[in-house]
Structure 1
Amino acid sequence: MTRKRPHSLTLMLALIATAAVHATEPEWEDDWGDDWVEESTSPWQPLSGFIEAGTGRRLQTDEAGLGSSTLSQLIARLESGYQGEQWQATMRLDAGYDDVVDGWLVDVRDLSVSTSVGEHTQLKMGRQVLTWGTGDYLFLNDLFPKDWQAFFSGQEDQYLKAPVNAIKTSWYGNRFNVDLVYMPRFEADNSINGERFSYFDPISGGKVAPGHSPNEPSDDAAAARVFWSTGQTEYALYGYWGYSGQPKAIDFDSGFPAPQYARLNAYGASLRTTLAGGLFNAETAYHQSLESSSSTQIAPPDQVLLLLGYESELITNLTGSMQYYLEHTRHYGDYLSTQPDPSKATDQNRHLLTLRLGYRAWQDKVQLNLFTFYSPSDRDFYLKPQASYRVDDRWLLSAGLNLMNGRDNHTFFGQLDDNSNAWLRLRYHY
């Protein structure tokens, strides 16, 4: 095991904080400098961003032997861009140190250029974060990569959506609009793989923390959306052609079980409309697995997904939303026959209920949020309370919990009970 260097975060914080202070000071001054700035019409956006330190600790001992730290990170965000008449460019970069994995990190969140092609078409190329659909933390047709390690460790919600190299073409018509996305190479989720959090392994029948991920396919992937509005109702149709974001197939060709990414096509639809003073949304999807089980491979089954949601303001400054999610496995008998232990297989109909409560106070300086997942079929749950306090325009303090548990150690949230943690983040905007 690589020796940890706990003092590295403190040293890096001091260095980056010093750089941030100097970055706010002018490099030179003269008598006519202020007048020149006022008259400047430069298309280049000034450099901005933030510096954030985060720490998180496991609330119990991990059965698979992982350490107590779940988040120990210092990152600096750099943002800039170019806004010309014909071309626009965006740069959003995170760099820092992650003490949990004892390594430096560089995350290019956005490095893209965009331009108009004709009167109705917009083209965006490069690394970018893509998202669509109506779910809140639930993704039926949004099959772009996600970062679940960031989500369960207490990083800001924006990090749940991982960036991807893509070409996005958007066409806006009088009634219908179309988004076409082409990804030259498929990029998988940053899923729970034992590096930071342990999980249940159906082959060994227990919790493991192997600390590695399967190789991603070198194939491309594509997605499409057609969306339009009628009155106060928004509609959308979706398509996806690629691979599942998580390694749901198991391959035995090498002599031992190895997780693999399975080929996947997905088709779906959604709507969002006003209802009884709030917003109602519905979404459905059909996930078609293009793999087939054999003597050397266990393939994931086809699934039909359904989501119903409603959001409204309960009282002043307090909003609430609820969701019902159904995951139906087709050809369930065939699926059970491929499982190492059918008693620990996913139910044919997995039900999930969610509740979100959000409260704002002191001119939005204080924000309290609670998100809960509960599955009556799996008998497991996930509670995600968090609070933030904005000291001023520059300083933000956030804290929260990730609490997971369940009746069985093989269900989605039940397997994560040893990963429950508390976290704290301090951010400085410059």
Structure 2
Amino acid sequence: MAGNSFRTSLLTAVLAVSVGVFAQEAPPTVDDWGAFDEMGDWDDEDVASPFSWAGFIDIAAGTRLQSDSAIRGDTTLTDIRGQFQADYAFDSSKIGFRGDVWYDGVTDSWESQIRELYWQGNLGFLGNAGEKFDLKAGQQILTWGVGDYLFLNDLFPKDYQSFFAGRDDDYLKYPSLAVKLSGYFDLVNVDFVVMPEFEPDNGINGEYFSYFNPMLAENTGARMEIPDENKPDDPEYAMRLYRSVAGTELAIYGYKGFTKLPEAADELGRPLYSDLTVTGFSAIRPVGPGIGKLEYAFHDGDDTDGSNPLIPNDQTRFLIGYEQELVANLTAGVQWYTEFNHDFDVRIANSSWPQFEATERRHVFTTQLRYQALQQTLVLHAFNFWSPTDDDGFLRFRATYSPTDKWQVSGGMNLFYGDEAHTFYGQFEDASNVYASFRYFFEG
């Protein structure tokens, strides 16, 4: 409850500050809006309203391809959702809002979420130096890095329940209450983000899908409850330095906060978010007829030598990928991703269940195909994750048809496979599902 109160107070403060800044901006004049025509009326074609709004209504349903003995019921998605978004633009700033209200048939509950509520603008009102900076404050979606569905330096929260259930990819990114300061300079550009309240991933916790519990040596659908004292209340910090050099987009990243999933445990075995520091870099540039990319990250946790089995070991992550258009409207991409767990022998020696520990080096290969047809109104997208070290994988297929800007239908499949019940993708084999949705758009 205290976290919700703090969030509400901070969002209220952001809006109050925004109103104060807006009051300093000069109101639009006739010259700003357009001129009178010869008859003395407004020239409507030259008038641009500072306010815009839009939204959609979405109905979605999904079901398992096989039963899961740890979860009651086969339904994986039953949404009746409405989203409303609005923007108000001023001379050098704007406020934005995007919010959802929906009925979740899986949990039989009404839910709501403010995905965006922010003020964004240039700081030129502070003087010449301020013109080099933009500020965005409030609830917002944050992301960076170059991987497709693989996150190395992107430690902003994700919603894996939505991702596995077949909701639109937009819902994989979870909102954060944050202040983002962006500076633009000749030498380098910089983004600095402060998240005053820790926001974890919405992971697989037994609500929609079961997960492997090493203490039971099997999957469980019991809700993963995290004690309040094991949830951090300190802020998170993230930074990115980036610039283009000889056609290559280079970036350096830093993060100081906590693990986004409760991968650690306390002395009583209860889930815990542990401290985490991440540093890394990325590069992306044209290579032949396509785009090449690479990314590196070092995840530095609390356990410096691997001897504490309750805390994740330090980890090095690396990704290299390539994407190109094979023929008109058909794009293909491949990625190789690897994780190296440091001090692995020490961890195995101290582990309570060494047979279930992740491998020292975990590799994942991804392939994707994206095809557009019927004058790009039909989009077919297939994406496969395959780990040769874990001998498991995850295939996603989605088809979207949108013949007008008023409505679209989509459907797809999430198929998990693997030989072992404890591996990353293998544990979700009984979560494999198919889904379909209809979305109607409206705007002002």
Normalization by structure 1: what TM-score?
A: 0.88
- Any idea what SS the aligned residue of 1:298 has? coil
1:347 aligns with 2:359: yes
Deviation at residue 35 of structure 1 after TM alignment: 6.0
Match of 2:28 in 1: none
Runs of 4+ displaced beyond 4 Å: 34-41, 291-297
Structure 1: which amino acid aligns with 2:254? G
Question: 60, 64, 69: which is aligned to 1:63?
Answer: 69
Deviations 1:93-138 (A, max 9, x none): 1111101011111111110001212111001100000000000000
Match of 1:419 in 2: 431
Question: Contact 1:284/1:306 (CA < 8 Å) preserved in 2?
Answer: yes
1:90 aligns with 2:105: no
Deviation at residue 231 of structure 1 after TM alignment: 2.2
Match of 1:393 in 2: 405
1:212-231 equivalences under 5 Å are: 212-214=224-226, 215=228, 216-231=231-246
Match of 2:56 in 1: 50
CA distance in 1, matches of 2:388, 2:309: 31
Question: Contact 2:309/2:347 (CA < 8 Å) preserved in 1?
Answer: no
1:156 aligns with 2:168: yes
Match of 1:100 in 2: 106
- Any idea what SS the aligned residue of 1:66 has? coil
Structure 1: which amino acid aligns with 2:116? D
1:23-422 equivalences under 5 Å are: 40-45=47-52, 47-117=53-123, 118-214=130-226, 215=228, 216-253=231-268, 257-291=269-303, 298-422=310-434
Report the CA distance shift for 1:410/1:365 in structure 2 as closer, same or farther (over 3 A).
same
Structure 2: which amino acid aligns with 1:290? D
Deviation at residue 61 of structure 1 after TM alignment: 0.9
Deviation at residue 292 of structure 1 after TM alignment: 6.6
Question: Contact 1:292/1:299 (CA < 8 Å) preserved in 2?
Answer: no
Structure 1: which amino acid aligns with 2:289? G
- Any idea what SS the aligned residue of 1:106 has? strand
Deviations 1:280-310 (A, max 9, x none): 0000000000257999970000000000000
CA distance in 1, matches of 2:169, 2:314: 29
Deviation at residue 205 of structure 1 after TM alignment: 1.2
Question: Contact 2:306/2:344 (CA < 8 Å) preserved in 1?
Answer: no
CA distance in 2, matches of 1:362, 1:421: 27
Deviation at residue 40 of structure 1 after TM alignment: 4.9
CA distance in 2, matches of 1:60, 1:307: 33
Deviation at residue 316 of structure 1 after TM alignment: 1.1
- Any idea what SS the aligned residue of 2:131 has? coil
1:8-23 equivalences under 5 Å are: none
CA distance in 2, matches of 1:63, 1:292: 39
- Any idea what SS the aligned residue of 1:145 has? coil
Deviations 1:330-373 (A, max 9, x none): 00012213432211210000000000100000111111110000
Q: How many residues align?
A: 394
Question: Contact 1:66/1:197 (CA < 8 Å) preserved in 2?
Answer: no
- Any idea what SS the aligned residue of 1:119 has? helix
Question: Contact 2:304/2:314 (CA < 8 Å) preserved in 1?
Answer: no
Deviations 1:256-280 (A, max 9, x none): x211111100000000011011000
Question: Contact 1:265/1:290 (CA < 8 Å) preserved in 2?
Answer: no
Question: Contact 1:391/1:397 (CA < 8 Å) preserved in 2?
Answer: no
Report the CA distance shift for 1:41/1:392 in structure 2 as closer, same or farther (over 3 A).
closer
Question: Contact 1:312/1:319 (CA < 8 Å) preserved in 2?
Answer: yes
Deviations 1:233-257 (A, max 9, x none): 100000000001101101134xxx2
Question: Contact 1:113/1:124 (CA < 8 Å) preserved in 2?
Answer: yes
CA distance in 2, matches of 1:137, 1:199: 20
Normalization by structure 2: what TM-score?
A: 0.86
Question: Contact 1:251/1:296 (CA < 8 Å) preserved in 2?
Answer: no
Question: Contact 2:278/2:298 (CA < 8 Å) preserved in 1?
Answer: yes
Structure 2: which amino acid aligns with 1:217? P
Structure 2: which amino acid aligns with 1:358? R
Question: Contact 1:298/1:338 (CA < 8 Å) preserved in 2?
Answer: no
Report the CA distance shift for 1:420/1:67 in structure 2 as closer, same or farther (over 3 A).
same
- Any idea what SS the aligned residue of 2:163 has? helix
Percent identity of the aligned residues? 40
CA distance in 1, matches of 2:72, 2:308: 31
Structure 2: which amino acid aligns with 1:76? G
- Any idea what SS the aligned residue of 1:346 has? coil
Deviation at residue 211 of structure 1 after TM alignment: 2.1
Deviation at residue 388 of structure 1 after TM alignment: 1.0
CA distance in 2, matches of 1:126, 1:208: 37
Report the CA distance shift for 1:229/1:60 in structure 2 as closer, same or farther (over 3 A).
same
Report the CA distance shift for 1:338/1:425 in structure 2 as closer, same or farther (over 3 A).
farther
- Give the RMSD, CA atoms, in angstroms: 1.9
CA distance in 2, matches of 1:158, 1:40: 32
CA distance in 2, matches of 1:226, 1:76: 37
Question: Contact 2:306/2:346 (CA < 8 Å) preserved in 1?
Answer: no
Question: Contact 1:86/1:116 (CA < 8 Å) preserved in 2?
Answer: yes
- Any idea what SS the aligned residue of 1:280 has? strand
